[in-house]
Every structure is written in C-alpha cells, then in structure tokens.
Amino acid sequence: MATLAPVTATHAFDERRLADYLRACGLPEFAGGLTALQYQGGQSNPTYRLEAGGRYFVLRKKPPGDLLPSAHLVEREYRVMKALADTDVPVPKMIHLCEDTGVIGQAFFVMEYVDGRVPTAPGLPEIDSPDERAAIYDAMNEALARLHSVDWRAIGLGDYGKPSDYVARQTSVWTRQYEAARTDPIPAMEALVEWLPANTPAGDASKKETTIAHGDYRLDNMILHPTEPRVLAIVDWELSTLGHPLADLAYNCMTYHLPEGPLWKGLGEIDCGALGIPSEEEYVAAYCRRTERAGVPDWEFFMAFGLFRLAAICQGVYARAIQGNASSRNALEVGAKAPMLAEAGWDFARRARASPGAPEPARDA
C-alpha cells in the first residue's frame, strides 16, 4: 500500500473551505467536514486521501510556488482519465475538477479512491510467489497494450497533443525544463541535448504511430487488485499526451537498466528469472504480440530518450526541493539521481543507430 502521513506544512490547505466547496458541488459526504492525509513517495503533484461521510476520496493538486512551464497540469490528468473511463483501460473514476485557485491555492481534482495494492519496487518483494510476480508483469504489459490500442479520436482526445513529431517535441520540451532547473553542470545531459535531435528516428514524423502515451508508465503508478494479479487503475497521468508508443514502452523498460536500492527502483542487479519476472526481451516480445508489432526498431534511441526525460524530471524535483516546495520528503535524494540517469542515457546513445547511416556518438561526457 502507498504510505500515508500527516499533511506537511508546505502542502497544507484549508480543509474546512475545501469541504464546503465540495459539498456545494454536489458531494453531500463533505457536509460534516473532512480529514486529509498525504500520500508519500510521489515527486510531482501532491496527492491526498480525503475521508468524509464514511467514504474515501483522492485529491490531486498542483504544488505551491513557481512552477516550470507546462508542468504539473492536473487539468490534463483529469481530462485523459475521464476520457478513458468508457474504454478497457483501467483508470479511477473522475469526480470533480476545480481550476479556481481561490479554493485551496492551486488547481486540483477529486477522484474515486481505489482500494488495492501499490507495488513498492519492481522486484515485488511483498509478493511471495514467482507465478504471481509473472502474472503482475503480464497484467502491466496488457494494460499498456490496451492503452496504445485506444482510438484516441473516438474518445474526444483528438486535440490532446500533436499527432506527430512526439520525440522531437518532447526533446525540446525537456531540454527547456532541464535548462530552467539546471543547478550543477551535467556533461552527459549536455551531450544528449545535442545528440537526440540530430538522431531522432525518421518515423517520429509519421502520424501512423500515434497513440495515447502515459509518459510515466511504471509499476508503482498503478493500483493492483487487493488479492489478484490485476491492474485496477493506472494513475499519475501528468506527463500524458499523444505520442509514440515505443517511447512509452522503453520508459516502462528502463527499470531493467537501473540498480536496485533504497532510492532506486530498478532490476539491474536482480535475478529476474528466479523471481518469476520476465526478462526485458520477454516483456517486449509480449507487448509486440499484443499490439501485432513486428519489432521495436531504434530501441537504443528510445532508451536514451527515456533516460534523458527522467533525468530532466529528477533535475526539476531537485530544483523544487531547493526551493522548498517538493512533494516528497526525499526530493533532494531523488533529484540527485539526474547525473547517473544522464550517464545511462548517454551510454545507450553511444550504441544507438537512430536511422540507417546515423553516426555513432563520439563525444565523451
């Protein structure tokens, strides 16, 4: 289960004012007030469990303070999950979106509380059975394939993002985000900033590959059934847009290349076979079967791109921690991961061939 703690002073809000507002919005459970606890572990939008009238709800809001451009868009999270409600992609039910910052200081939304398990690490140490671990990974794989199979136009998301040039646009966006949050120099990030645009796969410009991209698809961003290896809800859609499915898949597979430890959630030093966890090759093959894809071209490029994005995200967390408005207590430690992630991304760049004839990256970082 996700860890709950008292609301921190940085992320506190007027609970009485919020309760009155939600009651006026047609939620009678809040007539008697509410009790709020804050979820720990997330590094982006502060998330709370609200108890009111004998029911639980979940509130997710923007963090306080000066925010990086186009970041923490809870409005987009609400929109995409609401649009997916009538598909076979598991998401929580959306209840209310408030864009009026006068209520609790920032825009927020309220959604249903989903009772289930949130995995603590990719190795699933809380699970005893290798067969159950295998089934959980297969359920995660299936949910991603379902997401990438959704007709995004049919559910009203035709304008949720531009249907081409996803990688090029994202590289530009995260370069700006990184530069806005830069503290100490990270040579590998500077190298990736130059290399990624020059080696983007030609297929990125095509609309044929466009799907809904979650943007942060990983095991701890989903809620599992309390006793069964089933995904009840995919959460944390802050980075979602229309994008390239292989970028989502590669991001999901980065865990195979990261170490395991208190601050790292990786499988890099774990005997996956002994635990029942599929290898990266097996996981990718299962996704390809489900999506009827012949293969995964430019895999090294997409891994380098995903690690670059995650490094930029961690750098933003670090900058917010320095400012004092990060969402989690371990934000400084998480933010310090950026250099290692950038180095890992640059290592993939050294091996990548983004298109036939593309030069091998030669710059040392």
pTM of the complete model: 0.90
Question: Which among 288, 291, 268, 295 has a CA at the least distance from the CA of 279?
Answer: 268
Fold of the domain spanning 4-112: Phosphorylase Kinase; domain 1 (3.30.200)
Q: CATH 3.30.200.20 in the chain: give the residue spans.
A: 4-112
**CA-based radius of gyration for the chain:** 20
Query: Looking at the predicted structure, is the pLDDT value of residue 354 above 60?
Result: no
How many other β-carbons are positioned within 10 Å of the β-carbon of residue 334?
20
Q: Which amino acid is present at 303?
A: M
The answer to whether the beta carbons of residues 158 and 293 sit under 8 Å apart is no
What's the rounded Cα separation, in Å, for the pair 333 and 7?
A: 20
The answer to whether the beta carbons of residues 27 and 6 sit under 8 Å apart is no
What's the rounded Cα separation, in Å, for the pair 106 and 333?
A: 26
Where is 35: in which H helix or E strand?
strand 35-39
Largest Cα–Cα distance of the chain, in whole Å?
67
Structure tokens at 125: 């140490």
What's the rounded Cα separation, in Å, for the pair 232 and 118?
A: 10
Structure tokens at 72: 């923490």
Q: List, for residues 76-124, the tens digit of each pLDDT value.
A: 999 999 999 999 999 999 999 999 999 999 999 999 999 999 998 999 9
pLDDT band at 362 (very low <50, low <70, confident <90, very high): very low
- In CATH, the number for domain 130-351 is 3.90.1200.10
What's the rounded Cα separation, in Å, for the pair 319 and 330?
A: 13
Q: List, for residues 286-322, the tens digit of each pLDDT value.
A: 999 999 999 998 999 999 999 999 999 888 877 767 7
Q: CATH 3.90.1200.10 in the chain: give the residue spans.
A: 130-351
Q: At what angle do helices 166-181 and 299-323 cross, to 10 degrees?
A: 30
State residue 95 phi and psi, 5-degree precision.
Answer: -110, -50
Output the pLDDT for position 356: 46
Q: List, for residues 214-235, the tens digit of each pLDDT value.
A: 999 999 999 999 999 999 999 9
Structure tokens at 271: 């005997």
Structure tokens at 310: 């995650």
DSSP 45: S
Beta bridge pairs of residue 109? 60, 97
The answer to whether the beta carbons of residues 317 and 43 sit under 8 Å apart is yes
User: Distances in Å between the alpha carbon of 198 and those of 55, 135, 354?
Assistant: 52, 39, 9
